[in-house]
A and B are shown apart, each in its own frame.
Chain A
Amino acid sequence: MLDFVQQLVSGVALGCVYGLIALGFVLVYKATEVVNFAQGDLMMLGGFFAFTFIGMMGLNYWIGFAGAVAAMALFGMLAERIVVRPILGYPQFSIIMATIGLGYFLRSVAGMIWGTDDFKIETPFSQGVLRIGSLVLAHDKLSVIAATIILCALLWLFFNKTTLGTAMRASSENMLAAYYMGIPVKRVVSTVWAISAAVATCAGVLLAPITFIHSNVGLVLGLKAFPAAVLGGFGSIPGAVVGGVLIGVIESMAGFYLPEGWKDVAPYIVLLAVLLLKPEGLFGLHARKKV
């Protein structure tokens, strides 16, 4: 029982990181119907920025964190402007390929700049543990869970209560109509990329104590976050987090209770099963096109 709870918590913590990366996918998809395959690599880059600010320049953790988020938000806007905006409105396939190319590029450049070693960021949470009876919960895992809850709440408020959020939803439904109604669609899209890069950075920094930061971490985790987003139904914010947590828990349980080798496949098997039964994901909207 104790093992079970222990595994559950670490699974949820890992799943929250997947969920945060998946959130980035969902934000961009919700606003522009673009699937950003470079999301994991944005996370990796964010982690490296934070490492540079905190580990190499010796800044305070919170200042470094904020600096990395700000820098990545700018970077997200830049990437949107250069790579995505010219091909908006073209078939999905083009955009998927462009973001795959962007991912390749970021991964290699990060490898060139920071090398291919593993890096670790010292955080205020990396030492402490919380004891409940004989249950030992590490602070870094709890911090990930807490941060995910806070970020989700903020994003939900943003999308549902602010004008910009409404504008984003409008431009995702029909970009042209939104543009005719006076919504600054280009600015909306830039903002969305900035936010998603910022969320990815949060994921990268929170992850740093659990898995180390290295230039391929984005690919590895991005490929787990992707099923998370699909599982929740692409385009649903709560879905992304729930999907992420599910993937994390399944992975951690499979690693503990099933023979070796199941850990990496189990999330995908569950994903395929869910897709077969409910192709639009757990929280996906089921809309029909009018012909």
Chain B
Amino acid sequence: MRFLFKTDYEDDIRLFPHSGYVVSYGLLLAVLLVAPYVLSSYLMSQLVFVCIYATVGVALLILTGFTGQASLGHAAFLAIGAYTAAYLQKYNVPFPIYFLAAGVLTGCIGALVGFPALRLQGIYLVIATISFAFIVEEILARWESVTNGNEGMRVKALSLLGVTVSRDSPTFYFLCVAVLVLTIVGTLNLLRSPTGRAFVAIRDSETAARSMGVNVALYKVKSFAISAAITGFAGVLFAHKLSFISPEMFTLQLSIEFIIVILIGGTFSLHGAVLGAIFIVMIDPFLTYLKDDMPGIISGIVATFGAGPATAGNVQSKVAAFASLNGLKGAIYGIIIMLFVLFEPLGIYGRWLKIKLFFQLFPLYKRSTFKRQKIYVKSERNR
């Protein structure tokens, strides 16, 4: 294990604490750059969705993970970004301009949502963001002159510097990776700046932050605006990837999926957003795979334990019937969420940290290092 001796403040806020980080992230980036020439087109498509979800995850982490403001309305911000792009594209606005415009507009609307959110906390904030998302959904469905209503809008392939970039091309994938990397680096920089530290102070204790001279209202609105703007950028990519958008894509379900991204990844680190995005995008193909191959595998296992082919076939058809049940996916989703909250509250990244620490401290590792503290006395009602 490597010991880091921090002798001044600069050591504490360094982007890469030691050379190991540069090597491992460099390798990861190299793998990402080679990926489109190796992977199948289906996996590439999934990888683009991973990038988009991870970008939204990072945005949500800034708001929920680091500022402590829960939001179940991020699908609405994504929708605003996507619709802005689709609308401006109709008037032949070039990509860089409508990309920025979508981010700025979504950021402004995010700030507008942030103002009322100043007076709300906990459950009231959650319901206010849900209400906002519903209202946006309804506006998208009704404002037909702009959004085309429930019929949805087509989104043409984006053209960058005069070159048309189709949604399945490696260039589009590189664009998504670039947006994700820029978002992550930008967020890291934000978090080590005074603004980021103010966010974390507000999350940990609003009263303490205020008494230290942090302008709580200003930073909460800032957090909302930044988070919304990043989601807006992701929305543009989302619209281009799907090439068709309609109001019923941006439902509460999607907002919940974004929350699941950061919950399953881990709410305390940016790694969590990426890992959570990988999880939520890849669970679909994985379940399809299970559905197609699991019956065969199970009947194979049954057959090796000495059962006749008739029993094995019977088992196979039973398992196939179970796997094709409507709603099995939802049930598995639900179980996974509950299991993570109950047994792995720090998420996938937390698990990785635990494994890492175990090997670093090998004979001396204590499980209680990561134990969370229960608080039975703090009432959310008294603020």
Which of the 9-residue segments A44-52, A90-98, A120-128 touches chain B?
A: A90-98
Q: Shortest Cβ distance from A76 into chain B, in angstroms?
A: 16
Which of the 9-residue segments B101-109, B193-201, B308-316, B334-342 touches chain A?
A: B334-342
**B341, A272: Cβ atoms closer than 8 Å:** no
Dominant secondary structure of chain B at its interface with chain A: helix
- Given known A100-B337, A175-B377, A176-B376, contact A227–B131 (CB-CB < 8 A): yes
Q: Once bound together, how far apart are the Cα atoms of A95 and B263, in whole Å?
A: 12
0/1 string, A102-115, CB within 8 A of B gives 1: 11111111011001
CB-CB under 8 A from B333, the residues of chain A are 101, 104-105, 108
**B345, A94: Cβ atoms closer than 8 Å:** yes
CB-CB under 8 A from B259, the residues of chain A are 97, 100
Q: Of A93, A275, A289, which is within 8 A of B120 by CB? A: A275
Residue A173 CB within 8 A of the other chain: yes
Q: Of A33, A103, A275, which is within 8 A of B128 by CB? A: A275
- Given known A33-B379, A92-B122, A272-B131, contact A97–B337 (CB-CB < 8 A): yes
0/1 string, A232-271, CB within 8 A of B gives 1: 0011000000000000000000000000010011001101
CB-CB under 8 A from A100, the residues of chain B are 256, 259, 337
**A35, B372: Cβ atoms closer than 8 Å:** no
Residue B20 CB within 8 A of the other chain: no
Which of the 9-residue segments B233-241, B282-290, B324-332 touches chain A?
A: B324-332
CB-CB under 8 A from A154, the residues of chain B are none
* A-B CB contacts (within 8 Å), total count: 162
5 smallest beta-carbon distances between A and B, as pairs: A105-B334, A101-B337, A89-B374, A108-B330, A104-B334
- The chain A residues found within 8 Å of chain B, CB to CB, are 29, 33, 35, 83, 86-90, 92-98, 100-109, 111-112, 115-116, 172-177, 179, 215, 223, 226-227, 230, 234-235, 261, 264-265, 268-269, 271-272, 275-276, 279-281, 285, 287-291
30 A-B pairs with CB atoms under 8 Å apart are: A33-B381, A87-B342, A89-B374, A90-B345, A94-B341, A96-B123, A97-B259, A100-B259, A101-B333, A101-B335, A104-B333, A105-B333, A108-B329, A108-B334, A111-B327, A112-B328, A116-B327, A174-B379, A226-B127, A226-B130, A227-B127, A261-B142, A269-B131, A272-B116, A272-B128, A280-B124, A285-B381, A287-B381, A289-B207, A289-B383
Known contacts A101-B338, A111-B330, A226-B130; 6 additional CB pairs below 8 A are: A35-B126, A88-B374, A95-B341, A101-B335, A101-B341, A235-B381
